[in-house]
Structure 1
């Protein structure tokens, strides 16, 4: 131990350790011989080292030596059964300008105990009021020129992480420093003739006392200069520009499913609608009489699954809104059940993926790891010329890194850059990946959102303060750096100079509000649907006018009147007959009013308050047979005998009117239709 001395008391004056040990050794032997002489008379007998004879009291003397216990110059002296010294302690002394002082204590059984006051002290006697020459290099954010550096002088011209760290170290060790920029602007690499360039070369030539920068601790540099303990841990990483996928558009809500899935969902909807329409026609349990007559057995059977309703029922289930159509037969319920199960899984999957697709812009990065980078040639990659990263690839024995070095070394034009800023510009302006330290990677990614890190770290290393070989200040700087780390000052300085960029942190995954660029498409769909509905209503209006009796009122006047009644919330009175169940009105003579009040038709059978008219009953059945063109109306076989029946009222009597109910494809309920009975 360089500064370790053993002393018998606190009043130790500085005797050399070897002399003290020699004195204690002689003192121990003399004490053992005296004890042996008391027990038995020992004589002096000359012996030759080459002779086979031994001293007869030698074994006894060894036993007495093991029993010796005394206090010597080196402290307590005691031996165990094997003859080894035990139960002793050492005082750890530090040599200062004022002499030696104790800084710790070591005991054979208790171990090392250091004085905590030494580490908490901010005073270093060896560096007190000493001016050190610091060589460094301009590189963000370690050392930068202030915006008004031309107006300043000396150390005040610079700012950055290393400048603040130097201030912290100067306050602890109480030294002065002068910042000097390296002449050739490089960190330091060996030349062919054995000399070194950059900051390492200046330390070797004793032109500088310290090298404070992002200087990587490597084995090759450690052979020619000394390093302090690392003040920052890092590794080589890959910097590449961001390749964003397509930005969310108005119809990005369709992204959770691929176009193929949407197509198959449409085909599934059409298939279910067709199967439901077919099954509902085949099963007899979906045919029913909505308003059965109280007399007779002639019924008009209705099926609720028309073609329109068969297309609408799956839509209601898919949108999870349901419909008024309820399946009755087991077969139709089976179709409905499997369709609902299908929509349950589809809707759940869509909802689960919708948030991610609307809030996250996925990056389309062609490389995801260092292996992907090494296995391709479309993307160029390189590092700083003369830096530690270049040396890492040059000396690596890993196959992937060797292949990367061969590519970088033989690539023309050169893929090496002179500075980090040049490498960043090359990444942004060309298809280039930059290999640099992770700390610099993080710094530039915070300032430019178009940059991203690909993969993890290629190695692990640290930044240290460089000093000439055998520097007497190395221990002081080691203790000062440890003190800064324990006080969390280095982490505070790193946050000061690394954070504050305009780009959000990559680990910040909090939910963000959606804008119109994310969900604007659904508003477009809503507006288009409303416009189509209005357009279809106008077409239906015009279609009904085209198939109605001629009226003196024009189409435009009719539409304006209809809109006015809608706005004023008035009931419409239509002087015409429309398809879909509207009743044509005209002056009715008393006999007709009486016949209408006493005779009505419900679902194909004539019912009246009084006695049923057989002729009107048969005519109603005749009219019901005409409705067989509708796919969802069926007349019972017993009514077919009324086919071909005609009415011949007496001459001069007015035509009779009956009202019967019939289903059409465009309606779900029986609609009253006016039939006029004439002589024909």
Structure 2
């Protein structure tokens, strides 16, 4: 720094030497500059005409101004104005540096040209608000207008930049020196905050020194100020002289231009020389030793100060002129913008608070439309949103892809008259924040301006909304649980027996036999069940019969059980009690059987071990996870709901990892293992339509939407949103969804219409019917054979005893007199024991078969 300061003084003195031959004036100035590193009180005894500087320390400048004022030695300031501002002194200094008020007015003019956007101010020092007091007065500090953030002692701007990004503030003022400003911009680039939709205004006057190409891209919008007059005749020679000390170690200068302090020092020497020259024409200037400890002053100081305020000069920093307070006036500040080819002048601010702006990339045309533009669309392969065609090798460009989002893009392009080019995201991710603040996936490509749109199953989240813009959602959905179907055993031919367990059927059989026996015994014991079947025959009045034979005792409960009744009517109170109890028993049994049979045959029951997220969180037998880096993962990570927090802790700590890289991998894990996949409901619905072995568990865990992503501040967001609304109003989005979601083989789960019963449900009852018919035919044959045999025996007996046939009266209800009827003379039947044995054997066979089928299906399950 000392060498460069010496060089700029030498250049200024050489320039003055060529301008005028006043050796004593410029020689004293040169001497003063060489000893500037000493304290002011140490150089006063050597004789001082003027003090120039310092360039960087406002506090030191204030002290020097006070000492010079006491000794009436002119002080020429070339550094920033001190804060807080000192009251105006009688013997004041002059300053070549723009005042804080002018700097605030210049920044305010630029903000006004931007349309007064929401702005954030980053301060490197505490006196920032005092320095930009006028700006704060014009833009009241609030979240909607101007927010202020202060760098801490570590000078790490990352937390402040993240806050600004989260608040979606696109205009940022950095009040810091050149090196700190460079550091802040480098961190902003790492956070993806140097895209075309962020605007930075730097207050440092050394903006031309910054090599911004090293830290930001070509799309960055960074504005700064410059006072350098590059059209000055001595400008190029001045730069060469400043770079002399760097030529030995460097091939090129490390600075793209001169520091403002160098140019101000150059102009300050010219101002002092000019004033001394003018003063020397009217009076002889002499210097004398002074001391800080004596009250002596320099007798020519006041006169030289007056001449200094009257100097008008066009120097390296533009036009130089002072007002009555020694402040610079009638000058201009060039407004520069970072440009790929260097810094480009985009406007001029005049000290009378007038701004003249040229056309600039900062002026985003609000009326700019999508018509006739070609947009780069980043996306990710995900069924059914974006898929490659089966023969995509035969196509080029957008024709390789198909799916819901591709069709929607074509619809939007037709409405808004734009074209697009599909580009798959490089890392195959939707987008998640990194520890350093940058973003991966499609979000990162939007932030870095590698794409104009992101179209996919792209979930709108608050975290993503902070760094990019979204359109209105084109699809509403939520998180759901996908699991494989685990059906109960298939219905068998004897599934009509399922409503009751084998034990119940066995006890029912025993109850039937018990009731038959009790009924038989009660009827035999009760005298009221014995009656005379032929009351018209006096000679047979003593012959009594009982209707509850063993066969009738077995048949009566059957009729009651089948709710068909029988021709047998109980007479005694005891038999009626048995009948009533049996009928009540059968009423309950038949009602229970009917209810259970309807449930078993019309509802396909699934054996699912989980029915809700709470069931999933309370068990560890079934693993569960989601796509790594997706919005579902972010939802569980940021959730404050206790159940979802437990689920996140399980997924985060589970080893091996339960996260998957793609939906296809998650579906495969669901089908091949005990794994539940947490995914969006629309994807759940799509894959369930393709694979009938998949099902959804419970309802939705949240509600959200898919939207089209765009860089922050994109001028096309409103147009895209309007296009989506038009598609929704015309029902085109619903038509597209039905096209891509309803092509599966599985029926809709929402269809609750009753389904017809198949033979696999009730085929067994036909088997029973056939078996019953076969038994009936077999018994009928036995009865026929038995009856034929008995008839032959009866005919043989009648021939031996010569019994004449007895005529029957057709008009009488009683047999003819003299006929002796008894139970032994009636037509015989096969032994009842045979029928009982057959029935018992059939029942036992059926029950045995049912038990075998039950055990077989149980082993399969």
Settle same-fold status: TM greater than 0.5.
yes
**Aligned pair 1:320/2:563, yes or no?**
yes
Aligned counterpart, 2:716: 473
Q: Deviations over 1:380-413 (max 9, x none)?
A: 1110011111111111122211111111112111
Q: Deviations over 1:227-253 (max 9, x none)?
A: 111111111111000000001110111
The equivalent position to 2:439 in structure 1, one of 168, 183, 196, is 196
Output the CA distance in 2 between the equivalents of 1:662 and 1:171: 96
> Which structure features the higher share of helix residues?
2
Match of 1:585, SS state, is helix
The equivalent position to 1:588 in structure 2, one of 775, 799, 813, is 799
Contact kept, 8 Å, 1:293 with 1:299, in 2: the verdict is: no
Output the CA distance in 2 between the equivalents of 1:263 and 1:141: 55
After TM superposition, list the pairs within 5 Å mapping 1:93-108 onto structure 2: none
**Aligned pair 1:350/2:600, yes or no?**
no
**Aligned pair 1:499/2:710, yes or no?**
no
Contact kept, 8 Å, 1:137 with 1:185, in 2: the verdict is: yes
Output the CA distance in 2 between the equivalents of 1:417 and 1:194: 23
Q: CA RMSD in A?
A: 3.1
TM-score (norm: length of structure 2): 0.50
Output the CA distance in 1 between the equivalents of 2:450 and 2:717: 17
Deviation (angstroms), 1:541: 8.3
Contact kept, 8 Å, 1:276 with 1:335, in 2: the verdict is: yes
Which has the bigger relative contact order, CA under 8 A and spacing at least 6? 1
Output the CA distance in 1 between the equivalents of 2:789 and 2:494: 44
Q: Deviations over 1:303-341 (max 9, x none)?
A: 111222112111112112222212223443343234334
Deviation (angstroms), 1:176: 1.1
**Aligned pair 1:406/2:406, yes or no?**
no
Output the CA distance in 2 between the equivalents of 1:498 and 1:253: 38
Deviation (angstroms), 1:346: 3.0
Deviation (angstroms), 1:475: 1.2
Match of 1:300, SS state, is coil
Output the CA distance in 1 between the equivalents of 2:789 and 2:578: 43
Output the CA distance in 2 between the equivalents of 1:587 and 1:474: 115
Contact kept, 8 Å, 1:248 with 1:361, in 2: the verdict is: no
Change (3 A) 1:587 1:474: closer
The equivalent position to 2:525 in structure 1, one of 266, 282, 294, is 282
Query: Which consecutive unaligned segments of at least 5 residues does structure 1 have?
Result: 1-15, 19-123, 545-561, 563-571, 578-582, 601-606, 625-632, 634-658, 669-680
Contact kept, 8 Å, 1:598 with 1:609, in 2: the verdict is: no
Output the CA distance in 1 between the equivalents of 2:498 and 2:524: 38
Output the CA distance in 2 between the equivalents of 1:587 and 1:268: 45
Aligned counterpart, 1:84: none
Aligned counterpart, 1:140: 383
Output the CA distance in 2 between the equivalents of 1:387 and 1:328: 81
The equivalent position to 1:266 in structure 2, one of 509, 512, 523, is 509
Aligned counterpart, 1:174: 417
Aligned counterpart, 2:469: 226
**Aligned pair 1:161/2:404, yes or no?**
yes
Query: Which consecutive unaligned segments of at least 5 residues does structure 2 have?
Result: 1-112, 116-366, 809-814, 834-861
Contact kept, 8 Å, 1:599 with 1:609, in 2: the verdict is: no
Contact kept, 8 Å, 1:244 with 1:363, in 2: the verdict is: yes
Output the CA distance in 2 between the equivalents of 1:382 and 1:510: 34
Output the CA distance in 2 between the equivalents of 1:660 and 1:251: 45
Match of 1:187, SS state, is coil
Q: Deviations over 1:81-114 (max 9, x none)?
A: xxxxxxxxxxxxxxxxxxxxxxxxxxxxxxxxxx
Output the CA distance in 1 between the equivalents of 2:615 and 2:827: 73
TM-score (norm: length of structure 1): 0.63
Output the CA distance in 2 between the equivalents of 1:453 and 1:153: 38
Match of 1:478, SS state, is helix
Aligned counterpart, 1:368: 611
Contact kept, 8 Å, 1:185 with 1:198, in 2: the verdict is: yes
After TM superposition, list the pairs within 5 Å mapping 1:412-423 onto structure 2: 412-423=655-666
The equivalent position to 1:209 in structure 2, one of 452, 459, 477, is 452
Output the CA distance in 2 between the equivalents of 1:428 and 1:218: 30
Aligned counterpart, 2:369: 126
Q: Deviations over 1:612-659 (max 9, x none)?
A: 9xxxx9xx9xxx8xxxxxxxx8xxxxxxxxxxxxxxxxxxxxxxxxx8
After TM superposition, list the pairs within 5 Å mapping 1:58-69 onto structure 2: none
Output the CA distance in 1 between the equivalents of 2:806 and 2:377: 117
Contact kept, 8 Å, 2:611 with 2:698, in 1: the verdict is: yes
Output the CA distance in 2 between the equivalents of 1:512 and 1:290: 55
Q: Deviations over 1:453-504 (max 9, x none)?
A: 0111111111111110111111111222222222222112111111121101
Deviation (angstroms), 1:273: 2.2
Aligned counterpart, 1:295: 538
Match of 1:180, SS state, is strand
Output the CA distance in 2 between the equivalents of 1:661 and 1:264: 37
Contact kept, 8 Å, 2:458 with 2:707, in 1: the verdict is: yes
**Which stretch has the larger CA shift, 185-194 or 481-490?**
481-490
Contact kept, 8 Å, 2:636 with 2:648, in 1: the verdict is: yes
Deviation (angstroms), 1:598: 7.6
Aligned counterpart, 2:771: 528
Aligned counterpart, 2:260: none
Contact kept, 8 Å, 2:783 with 2:829, in 1: the verdict is: no
Match of 1:462, SS state, is strand
Q: Deviations over 1:649-680 (max 9, x none)?
A: xxxxxxxxxx8569999579xxxxxxxxxxxx
After TM superposition, list the pairs within 5 Å mapping 1:424-503 onto structure 2: 424-503=667-746
Deviation (angstroms), 1:279: 2.8
Match of 1:133, SS state, is strand
Deviation (angstroms), 1:187: 0.3
Q: Deviations over 1:235-278 (max 9, x none)?
A: 11110000000011101111223334434433432333233223
Aligned counterpart, 1:249: 492
Output the CA distance in 2 between the equivalents of 1:179 and 1:365: 42
Change (3 A) 1:290 1:189: same
Contact kept, 8 Å, 2:377 with 2:451, in 1: the verdict is: yes
The equivalent position to 1:379 in structure 2, one of 619, 622, 629, is 622
**Aligned pair 1:332/2:543, yes or no?**
no
Contact kept, 8 Å, 2:537 with 2:817, in 1: the verdict is: no
Deviation (angstroms), 1:178: 0.8
The equivalent position to 1:511 in structure 2, one of 749, 754, 760, is 754
Output the CA distance in 2 between the equivalents of 1:359 and 1:178: 52
Q: Deviations over 1:504-536 (max 9, x none)?
A: 111212233332211111122223334444555
**Which stretch has the larger CA shift, 401-410 or 278-287?**
278-287
Change (3 A) 1:296 1:236: same
Q: Deviations over 1:339-395 (max 9, x none)?
A: 334333433343344344223321111111111111111111110011111111111
Change (3 A) 1:362 1:411: same
Change (3 A) 1:341 1:598: closer
Q: Deviations over 1:141-179 (max 9, x none)?
A: 000111221111111111111011111211221111111
